[in-house]
Chains A and B, each alone.
Chain A
Amino acid sequence: MMWRLWLRLQTLFRRERNVQRLDDEIQFHIDQQIAENCAAGMSPEEARYAAMRTFGNPTVLKEETRDTWGWTWPEQMAQDLRYGARALAKNPGFTMVAVLAVALGIGVNTGIFSVLNGVALKLLPVPRADEIVGVDQRFHGRVRRNVHGEPGLFSYSEYRDYRANNHVLSGLLAYAPFLEATLAGDSPQQLAGAETSCNFFAVLGERPALGRTFVEEDCRAPGASPVVVLGDELWRSRFGADPLIVGKSVSLNRAKFVVIGIAAPGFLGLDPWPSAFWAPITMQKALEPDTDLLSEDNTGWLALLGRMRPGATLAEVRADLGVIAARTDQQYPGRTTTLVVHRATFLGRPEERKAVFGIGALVLASVGLVLLIACANVANLLLARASTRQREIAIRLSIGGSRWRIIRQLLTESLLLAFLGGTLGSLVAFWSVEGVARLVLAHLPHGAPRLEWNVSPDLRVWGYALALTAFTGIVFGLAPALHASNQDLSTALKGDGGRFIGKAASGGVLRSALVGVQVAVCMMLLIAAGLLIRSLYLAQTGDPGFQMKGITQAQFNLPSQGYSAEKAQAFQSELISRVEGLPGVDGVEQAQVTPLSHEFLGTGLTPAGETESRQFEFNVVSPGFFAMLGMPVVRGRTFTAAEARSEAPVLLISESTARQLWPGQDAVRKTLSNGKGKEYQVVGVVKDSQVSHLGHSDGLFFYRPGGPAEQDQLQLLVHSKGGDTATANGIRAAARALDGNLMVDVTKLADNLEAWRTPSRIVAALSFVLGTLALLLASIGVHGVVSYGVSQRIREIGIRMTLGASGRDVMSLAVRQALRPVVIGALVGVIGCAAVSQVLSDALYGLGAHDPIAFIGVPLLLLGVALLASYIPARRASRVDPVTALRYE
């Protein structure tokens, strides 16, 4: 065994010497035979021929012998690679274009994938993360349940039940993922944090950088242990990395918490929005004084993550926890619960995953299309090159090269090309993607949560890039290789077959088909880009139907700071009177949600005379709200201050609501009931406007006056003639004078538009870049095919011109032939895009999915570019000098 291994290794590593010895030996053999033949009386010449005859073809036999040494595969591969590298190096122009095209395609794909990977595929950044599972629940049947955050979350009693009674997890933790708190200080700071079960750090296996993390004692009783673990970043930015902070206390939402530890640097919690602090779950009431979630058994607010016991599988976990779920269901007749158990990642909850993967798939599909266009380009280049190598390949085939061997060699060459491009593209992508992601995240609109993603490439991204590269190489290499190796040898050897009149140049159909595909794909991308850019333009310039100029909004959360309704009322009236006194301010109004703030209030009301309740959106506002925003009351009147004070049951509705509920009738004095016996009367109808959703003003919508008991919920809208900055500073100062620890967010109302425009801006920018890339690649493709066609048929053109064709005729012939696949491809693209553009309709603002301008304008643009791309080589054809052309080659 060892001996054989030794032999094999020797044949691999001492190959050169072995080859030399074999040559010597065979030479010796032949010499011996010649000597013997001479001795038998032949002339030297004759003796040599006879010896060769008895020996056979030495080259073939040597090759066969080397085959027996094994390692043929790597040897041939190395040969192919050497040959391929030489061929590529000999043609630097071709190589550069092809490598760049592939690099673009693969780079964009890899970059997008590494973002997706960082956002939703990487396991959590904790030790032995593959053991951590997330648990979500789904309810079916009769469900009545309160939800804080997302429907799949658990209540505190459910969590304790699962934790105590499961047999498959070595630990189960719970945390409330959506918590904000104000850290008191000279300048109060709004922080994202989490309320966690006290085994949180233990289950995750996270050790603190300083101090300690929670122990079970901290969670013994509600409100018993006001302790907090701070995040590393907060500790450094806010407390100057002071190690003596441990043991001191900080104030979060006005409750005192003792700092017991600092989390390890790099531990940012379990969501893409980093946590700045962690407090025990039992301190929930201290952090959110307006709710008491611990005692509510049927309110979902906790996300659950467990660490599996060694050897346990997801299916076992699902089955074991399912038993507990079934037991809980017995308390709620008619309800069944199913559990979703999955490996924990960022954005692991099923709804989030669906959204992320939906968007991810769409983006990957479109960058995949760009890659496809790039592939078609490279395939076309390879085809063109293969036909110049036709004779070489024909010779190799006719002296006994097998077809498979030639295909393999051509494929090796295209794979080499793909790997050059893929490596270049991936490296650029890896190098730039973190910067690009940071840039995009830094330009999110005001009010969006701060996100942090680790998009650095890991093994999965490398694997993806590698697989994509190999796939790409085969995709663009296979068709040309098959085509090149399958040819009529005699024609090919004669040299100029297939280049004559009436007969398309060899591979013409394939090339045209490739151009057609390119154009079709490019068309789809361009129309999508056109739709998105048009919708961006409309979004930027559209009139939301109300006035934003000169209005400043001041937003605060009074209930979380422990304000009662009475205290809130006093605060609000004092703040309003102070703000009214600011220079330039000529109006102060209140609203529960400010227009376009991405917060929505919804409720069900039943119009009089109907039995089913309808879902309305609504807002709670002060009487002067409509006048300030320039929303005319078209029928009836607005509320009076007296109605607001007395909490009278009156409503204003929007025009389209009136139209939908009471078509052709006067809506004023109609009534609606809330299902609990309270009747509201419509006192006025206000003009439709996009106060809630930009681009939409046709939902059911009503406005209700804000009474004294709701003062803790309301935000301020301030209109001023003077400078916005001065007003904003004045409002901040006034609020700080009243309550120094209240976080007040003062911004221009018009800033709310940004949040609506950003998604379409990102999408439009991305699709613009992709569309431009696609157009560029496709026009290179068209140009390449036409100029190749012209150069192949130069003799035919010469003959035509000699026989009297004018330059115009020749040009129109070339252009016509070039445009046929373009037009077919464009048609297919338009039809395909019309079929799928419905997918985009969510991202399209104020625009149908079949917007005629995009659907007519973009094809015209593309055809124009294609015409230009084919015109340049066609003009060259028309200027051919017939004499030169006939002598060509």
Chain B
Amino acid sequence: MGKPSDLVQRTLDVLIVKTIALEPKHGWAIAKRIPQISREVHQMQQGSLYPALHRLEQCGWVKAKWKEHRDRPGSQVLLIDCQRTRPGRTGSRELEPPFRRTQFGRVETT
């Protein structure tokens, strides 16, 4: 099984940071939100969100803490929040350019 290409991974990273820019969300919510904000361009397996989230946490873009989910008392979910310091907040803007929407609906590098 090959690794996802760097571009696709980066794109996902940016999308995640954008998704949580307004308020902290948990994994399930992020997975639902990403297709919306990328206008269905970014097709992904929902599961690949998790490696990406953990990677972002490890390199300090997002912060996570465990919280009880309001729909499911007793089960903990990871509430993902933007890192309040750099590069999380500014990161999303800095990293916006690497993809743009082409007329064929694909993602390309600039």
Cβ B58 vs Cβ A28 within 8 A: no
**Number of chain B interface residues as a range:** 20 to 34
A29 and B46 in contact (CB under 8 A), knowing A21-B76, A24-B75, A69-B54? yes
Residues of B within 8 A of A60 (CB): 1
A54 partner residues in chain B, CB cutoff 8 A: 45-46
> A28 near B69 (CB under 8 angstroms)?
yes
Q: Which of B47, B53, B66, B72 has the most CB of A within 10 A?
A: B47
Contacts known (A56-B48, A64-B51); A24 close to B58, Cβ less than 8 A? no
Give the docked Cα–Cα distance between A29 and B69 (Å): 12
Q: Determine whether the beta carbon of B69 is less than 8 Å from that of A55.
A: no
User: B66 and A21: CB pair below 8 A?
Assistant: yes
Query: Across the interface, which residues of B come within 8 angstroms of A61, CB to CB?
Result: 45, 47-48, 50-51
Q: Indicate with 1 or 0, residue by residue over B45-74, a CB within 8 angstroms of chain A CB atoms.
A: 111101101110111100000100100100
- Contacting residue for A69 out of B46, B58, B60, B76, CB 8 A: B58
Q: Is the CB of A26 within 8 A of B47?
A: yes
Check B75 against A65 for contact (C-beta < 8 Å): no
- With A3-B60, A7-B58, A55-B46 already in contact, the answer to whether A68 and B31 are too (CB < 8 A) is no
Instruction: Pick the residue among A25, A58, A69 that contacts B78 (CB under 8 A).
Output: A25
> Is B45 in contact with A55, judged by CB distance below 8 angstroms?
yes
B66:A28 contact, CB within 8 angstroms: no
B1 close to A400 (CB less than 8 A): yes
Residues of B within 8 A of A22 (CB): 50
Take A55-B45, A56-B48, A61-B51 as given contacts and tell me if A70 and B78 are in contact as well, using a CB distance cutoff of 8 Å. no
User: In chain B between 23 and 49, which residues have their CB closer than 8 angstroms to a CB of chain A?
Assistant: 27-28, 31, 45-48
What B residues does A33 contact at CB under 8 A?
A: 28, 46
Q: Do B28 and A65 touch across chains, with their CB atoms under 8 A apart?
A: no
Write out the residue numbers on chain B whose beta carbons fall within 8 Å of the beta carbon of A70. Answer: 58
Q: How many A-B residue pairs have CB under 8 A?
A: 68
B47 touching A24, Cβ below 8 Å: no
Contact in complex: A29, B58 (CB < 8 Å): no
Measured between C-beta atoms, what is the minimum distance from A4 to chain B in Å? Answer: 6
Which residue on B lies nearest to A60, using beta carbons? B1
Choose among B27, B54, B75, B76 the residue with the greatest number of A CB atoms under 10 Å from its CB: B54
Q: A28-B69, A28-B72 are in contact. Are A68 and B51 (CB under 8 A)?
A: yes
Whether B1 pairs with A4 at a CB distance below 8 angstroms is no
B107 at the interface (CB under 8 A from A): no
Residues of A70-116 whose CB lies within 8 A of B: 70
Task: Say if the beta carbon of A354 comes within 8 Å of chain B.
Answer: no
- Give chain B nearest CB distance to A355 CB in angstroms: 59
Question: B47 to A55, Cβ gap below 8 A?
Answer: yes
A57 in the interface, Cβ–Cβ < 8 Å?
Answer: yes
Chain B residues near A68 (CB-CB < 8 A): 51, 54-55, 58
Q: Within 8 Å of chain A (Cβ to Cβ): is B77?
A: yes
Interface size on A, residues (CB 8 A): 29
Residues of B with C-beta under 8 A to A25 = 27, 50, 76-78
A55 to B53, CA, bound (A): 15
Instruction: Judge if A32 is at the interface, Cβ distance under 8 Å.
Output: yes
Q: Within 8 Å of chain B (Cβ to Cβ): is A160?
A: no
Q: Assess whether A8 is in contact with B45, with CB atoms less than 8 Å apart.
A: no
Is A297 interfacial (CB-CB < 8 Å)? no
Q: A7-B58, A21-B66, A68-B58 are in contact. Are A28 and B47 (CB under 8 A)?
A: no
Closest B residue to A63 by beta carbon equals B51
Q: How far is the CA of A257 from the CA of B69 in the complex (A)?
A: 94
- Chain B residues whose C-beta falls within 8 Å of the C-beta of A62 in the assembled complex: 50
Bound-state CA distance A64–B1 (Å) is 11
Query: How many Å lie between the Cα of A637 and that of B19 in the bound state?
Result: 119
* Closest chain A residue, CB of each to CB of B52: A68
Tell me if A28 and B50 are in contact (CB < 8 A). Answer: no
Contact indicator A29/B45 (Cβ below 8 Å): no
Q: Which listed residue (A4, A26, A32, A56) contacts B58, Cβ 8 A?
A: A4
In Å, the complex CA distance between A60 and B4 comes to 13
Task: Tell whether A809 is near chain B: CB-to-CB under 8 Å.
Answer: no
A66, closest chain B residue (CB): B54
Residues of A within 8 A of B28 (CB): 28-29, 32-33
Within 8 Å of chain B (Cβ to Cβ): is A67? yes
**B46: which A residues are within 8 A, CB to CB?**
29, 33, 54-56
How far apart sit A32 and B77, CA to CA, in the bound complex (Å)? 12
Contact with B along A1-15 (1 / 0, CB 8 A): 001100110010000
Are the C-beta atoms of A8 and B58 separated by less than 8 Å? yes
Contact between chains at B45 and A28 (CB < 8 Å): no
A-B contact sample (19 more), CB < 8 A, given A3-B60, A7-B58: A4-B58, A7-B57, A24-B75, A25-B50, A25-B77, A26-B47, A26-B50, A28-B69, A28-B77, A29-B28, A55-B45, A55-B46, A55-B47, A61-B45, A65-B51, A65-B54, A68-B51, A68-B54, A400-B1
Ordered by A's residue number, 28 sampled pairs between the chains whose C-beta atoms are within 8 Å are A3-B60, A4-B58, A7-B58, A8-B58, A22-B50, A25-B27, A25-B77, A28-B28, A28-B75, A29-B27, A29-B47, A55-B45, A55-B46, A55-B47, A56-B45, A57-B47, A58-B47, A61-B45, A61-B47, A61-B48, A64-B50, A65-B50, A67-B51, A68-B54, A68-B55, A68-B58, A69-B54, A70-B58
Interface residues of A (CB under 8 A from B): 3-4, 7-8, 11, 21-22, 24-26, 28-29, 32-33, 54-58, 60-62, 64-65, 67-70, 400
A-B pairs, top 5 by smallest CB distance, nearest first, are A56-B45, A56-B47, A64-B51, A68-B55, A61-B47
